[in-house]
Amino acid sequence: MYPLDLTKITISEARTLLDRGEVSSVELAKEYIDRIRNLEKSIDAFVTVTEDQALLDAGQADKRIHDGTQSNLTGIPMQLKDNICYSGIPTTCSSKMLENFVPPFDATVSRTLKNENAILLGKGNLDEFAMGSSTENSALKSTKNPWNIDRVPGGSSGGPAAAVAASECMFSLGSDTGGSIRQPAALCGVVGMKPTYGLVSRFGLVAFASSLDQIGPLTKTVEDSALVLQSIAGHDSRDSTSLDVKIPDYVSNLGTDLRGFRIGVPKEYFIDGIDLEIKKSVLKAIDVLEGLGAEVKDVSLPHTKYALAVYYIIAPSEASANLSRYDGVKYGFSERDAETMWEGLENTRSKGFGPEVKRRIMLGAYALSAGYYDAFYLKAQKVRTLIRQEFEEVFETVDVLAMPTSPTTAFRIGDKMDDPLQMYLNDIFTIPANIAGIPSISVPAGLVGGLPVGLQFMAGALQEPNLFRAAYAFEQSTDWHKQTPPL
C-alpha cells in the first residue's frame, strides 16, 4: 500500500510505486491537483494550472507503464517555469507583453518530457522575463515563500522553487541566468541545479541573456536532480550552443564516501556582509564533508569580485537585443491606439514591459551604444575570460568548490523593491558560475530563524558527476533535505 501522502515522496520513490502498480499515475496526478487547489491561494506558485492536461498525461503514462515501456519520468507530476514553451499552453514570461501568447511548438525539454509521459501540472511564476531575484517583478502575481508567506521565494524561478518546497509538484524546470535556479532553491529549502552551459538545449526557452541562460531542475533531493538531468541533457541541432557530448549516468556515481575527493573553499565567498549565521551553517557543512573523507583546502578566486559588474553589463546588453523583437508587430501585446508606427512601438514597449525589464533594457542599450561599447561591453567580455580561466586553473587542483548560495535568507516581501542594487547583490555568489559557464548546485544546509540556508557547489565544465557526488554525500549525511515548510 502506498504512503498516505503521495505528495511527500521523491521521484525515485514514486518510480518504484508506479512500476510495482501500487499506485497509478492518475491517482498521483489527482493528489497533486488537490494539493495545488488547497495551497495555491496562499503560495501563488503557478501562473497556469493544467488539470485537464495532467489527467490526460497521466492516462497515457499508465498505459505505458502497463506495457513496460516507461522511463525515469513517466507518470511523474511536474511543473515548467513559464518562460519554457509548451505547445497549446500559454507561455507568459509573467509579462503583460506575452500574457496571451500560446506557443505552437514545444521547447526541446518540453518535447523530451512529453516523450517520457511526464505529467504537466502547470506553469510556474517568475520575475518578468526572468529578470529579478524575488519573483516580485512578475506582472501577474507575487509568489510567497512556503516557509513564511511574508517572505520572498527568491527569483527568478520563485514559482518553481516554491512549488517544489510546498510539494505542489515533484520537480520543476527553471532557467538560471545569474542564479535564478540556485538562489530560490536556497531560499525555499530545495535542491536547485544549473548544468554546464550548452548541456541542456535552450531551444524554446524565451531568451533573456543567450550566453548565460541555462535550463535546469529544481527537486527535493540530489538523486531526483540527477534523474531529471539524465532525461533533459543532450545535444540538440536546433540550439547552436548545444554541446555534442556523451551523457554519463549521473545516478550511478552517487555515494557517501568522499575519500580522495578534493574540495576547495574560496575565501572570496565568505565576505563582509554575509549573514554570520549563514556563514556558520556553511562552514559546519564543510566540516561534515571533511568528516566523510574529503580533502578540504582554501583557494582563491580574486577575479570573482568583478563578476557582478561583468554580469550587469553583459546580461542587460544581451537582454536589450533579445527583447527588441517585442515591438507590437510580430506577436505579443500591441498598443494600437497610436497615430504613427513609431508611436505605437513606443506605447507597446512602455505599457508591455515592467519597470525592472525597462531598467535592464536601458542599461544594456547604454553599454552597447557607440560611445561606450569598448569601455563597458568589450571590457566586460575580457574580464569574463579572466574569470573563466581562473576557474579552469583552480579546478586543476580541486574537484569542486563549496560556498554559500545566498548571502541572506529569504527577505520580507517589499523590502528591496525600491533598491535595485541591494536586490542585485543577492546573486553575488551564484553569478560567477554563469559567467564561466560551469555547473553548480544548491542543497539545503540549515535553518536560520526558521528559514532555509543553501550550500552551493561548483565544478569544472561537464563535471556534473563530481557536483552530484559532493552534493549527495552531504545530503545523505544530514537531515536538512527532510525538513519541510510548516504549511
401-450 pLDDT, tens digit each: 999 999 999 999 999 888 887 888 889 999 999 999 999 999 999 999 99
Q: Which three cell numbers stand for residue 20?
A: 510495482
2 — pLDDT class (breaks 50, 70, 90): low
pLDDT beyond 90 at 339: no
178 — pLDDT class (breaks 50, 70, 90): very high
Contact 78, 169 (CB under 8 A): yes
pLDDT beyond 80 at 95: yes
Structure confidence by residue, pLDDT tens digits, 185-242: 999 999 999 999 999 999 999 999 999 999 999 999 999 999 999 999 999 999 999 9
Pairing of strands 295-299, 262-266: parallel
- At 192 the pLDDT is 98
What are the sequence ranges of the domains in the chain?
Answer: 6-260+474-482, 305-383
- At 251 the pLDDT is 95
For 78, counting Cβ atoms within 10 Å of its Cβ (0-12 exposed, 13-18 middle, 19+ buried), the class is: buried
- At 332 the pLDDT is 86
Structure confidence by residue, pLDDT tens digits, 275-295: 999 999 999 999 999 999 999
pLDDT beyond 60 at 1: no
Helix axes 307-322, 355-368, angle to 10 degrees: 100
Ranking 11-15, 212-216, 417-421, 474-478 by mean pLDDT, the lowest is 417-421
DSSP 415: S
Structure confidence by residue, pLDDT tens digits, 350-394: 999 999 999 999 999 999 998 899 999 999 999 999 999 999 999
CA distances from 366 to 123, 312, 317, 371, 375 (A): 33, 12, 8, 9, 11
- At 271 the pLDDT is 85
- At 4 the pLDDT is 63
User: Starting from the edge strand earliest in sequence, which strands make up the sheet with 400-404, in order?
Assistant: 46-49, 119-124, 77-81, 171-175, 215-219, 191-194, 440-448, 451-459, 400-404, 262-266, 295-299
Q: Which three cell numbers stand for residue 328?
A: 507590437
Contacts of 399 (CB under 8 A, 6+ apart): 261, 262, 263, 459, 463, 466, 470
Q: Domain 6-260+474-482 belongs to what topology? A: Amidase signature (AS) enzymes (3.90.1300)
Q: Over range 240-267, report the average pLDDT.
A: 96
pLDDT beyond 80 at 3: no
pLDDT beyond 80 at 481: yes
- At 445 the pLDDT is 98
- At 347 the pLDDT is 86
- At 191 the pLDDT is 98
Percent of the chain at pLDDT exceeding 70: 99
- At 341 the pLDDT is 78
For 271, counting Cβ atoms within 10 Å of its Cβ (0-12 exposed, 13-18 middle, 19+ buried), the class is: middle
pTM metric for this prediction = 0.96
Q: Over range 19-38, report the average pLDDT.
A: 97
Per the prediction, the chain carries an average pLDDT of 95
CB atoms within 10 A of CB 13: 18
Ranking 162-166, 344-348, 355-359, 433-437 by mean pLDDT, the lowest is 344-348
Q: So which residues are the catalytic ones? A: 81, 156, 180
